[in-house]
A = this chain, B = another copy of it.
Amino acid sequence: RINGERLWDSLMELAKIGATPKGGVCRLTLTDLDKQGRDLVTRWAREAGMSVTIDKIGNGFMRRPGRNNSLPPIMTGSHIDTQPTGGKFDGNYGVLAGIEVVRTLNDHSIETEAPIEVAFWTNEEGSRFVPVMMGSGVFAKAFTLEHAYAATDTEGKTVKDELERIGYIGDQEPGDHPIGAYFETHIEQGPVLEDNQKTIGVVSGVLGIRWYNCTVTGMEAHAGPTPMALRKDALQVAAHLMQEVVACAHRHPPHGRGTVGMVHVHPNSRNVIPGQVKFSIDLRNATDAECESMDQDIRAVATKLSTKTGLPIEIEMVSNYPAQVFHPDCVDAVGRAAAKLGYSHMPVVSGAGHDAVYMARLASAGMVFIPCKDGISHNEIESAEPEHITAGCNVLLHAMLERAGT
């Protein structure tokens, strides 16, 4: 069993770097604070006897050798960058749980057959630079190193320059070493475990995610003198379609999700009928076939609505992350570990994207979820119970040991 207090203390120590007044953490990727976080985590790894290598996109690999170092490592990890109004646990927990696994093995002088590696992936959050899950994406060759290097923040600074500036541009080629299996512990970021009063979520896979920009074009006009019958009100048509995004999710149970999170109204003036409305659509489902069906559903609704109202509607897909089913080897290892340790557990899907999605393209992969308070994350009030933090790490330990061999 892992040392829950030590893991909790490490989480609180790391959370001091970029701590916000409301109890959260703001540690954007490739900032000075991110460098301080990386320095602390790699110092802890070295103190635990691990070697540290950094690849060209700044991913860190902290390695504990096995008895047979020609075997590919059993890997765990996550990210330590946060949202602007992030919490203490998202990502950070997955990295520090990995270090705690190694500290526990050291405490009990347990050798593993395969080596163990703990990774921290660069820029999972995507709030400073897009695409999200950048480091693991480059590692899995989902896009090129050059593409990632060229990404700029709002000030025009590039990923490459910022990596160099904070001294975390390594010389290892991303993706150059094989992986035996990959596990990631993470807070659920949703309310399902809490709602079901379970300690451990055995993650069977991650929903496919499609992001769209939608534009409805009408005609700007004065709210007073323009009779109702002569209006081309872009917001009214957009409001209808926004509701259809949710209806579309309900038409694709049980895993369909539909969200409009971002809206821009032009000219956004109290007494002007909106001439143009742009909004985002986020569609998710458990299989690519279901994602595709939702895509066709919402496009058909939009076409009908456009014909009926005479207002042009444009729907442009801007991102497509395919659904990922995790390998039964890893999923079952997580389930067995939870059962053996006596934790209440249930199968869940991950609604959010994670670095594990990219790792699943390279090796068998699985995830361990623990509840977070009210299902809230990406928020300074994000919170998790110490006993759940401990439980998730114990499950990780046993699942990794099963795969690494002792």
Contacts and interface: CB of A to CB of B under 8 A. Distances in A.
Interface string A320-364: 000000000000000000000000000000111100000000000
Contact of A257 (B224, B257, B375, B376): B224
Contacts of A352: 222, 224-225, 271
B190 A226 contact: yes
A266 to B, nearest CB: 10
A35 to B, nearest CB: 26
Given A235-B242, A242-B239, A243-B240, A351 B225 contact: yes
A303 interface: no
A192 interface: yes
What band does the interface of chain A fall in when counting residues whose beta carbon is under 8 Å from B?
Answer: 35 or more
A377 B378 CA distance: 43
Contact of A226 (B256, B375, B379): B375
Contacts of A240: 239, 243
A270 B274 contact: no
Given A188-B225, A271-B259, A236 B246 contact: yes
Interface string A173-206: 0000000000000001111100100000000000
Given A239-B242, A376-B221, A379-B220, A226 B191 contact: yes
Interface string A295-327: 000000000000000000000000000000000
A189 B222 contact: yes
A351 B273 CA distance: 13
A211 interface: yes
Contacts of A189: 222, 224-225
Chain B CB within 10 Å, residue with most, of A222, A260, A351: A222
A388 to B, nearest CB: 16
Interface string A226-240: 111010010110011
A268 interface: yes
Contacts of A353: 224
Contact of A225 (B256, B261, B350): B350
A191 B226 CA distance: 6
Contacts of A270: 211, 261-262, 280, 282
B268 A265 contact: no
A229 B395 CA distance: 29
A378 to B, nearest CB: 6
A272 interface: yes
B236 A243 contact: yes
B236 A242 contact: yes
A348 to B, nearest CB: 9
Given A233-B246, A242-B235, A226 B273 contact: no
Given A233-B246, A239-B243, A259-B271, 8 more contacts: A188-B225, A190-B221, A223-B284, A225-B375, A228-B246, A261-B265, A262-B270, A270-B282
22 contacts: A190-B221, A190-B222, A190-B227, A192-B230, A209-B224, A222-B375, A222-B377, A225-B351, A227-B257, A228-B256, A228-B257, A233-B259, A235-B242, A239-B239, A239-B240, A239-B242, A259-B271, A260-B274, A261-B271, A263-B263, A270-B280, A271-B352
Interface of A: 188-192, 195, 207, 209, 211, 220-228, 230, 233, 235-236, 239-240, 242-243, 246, 249-250, 256-263, 265, 268-274, 280, 282, 284, 350-353, 375-379
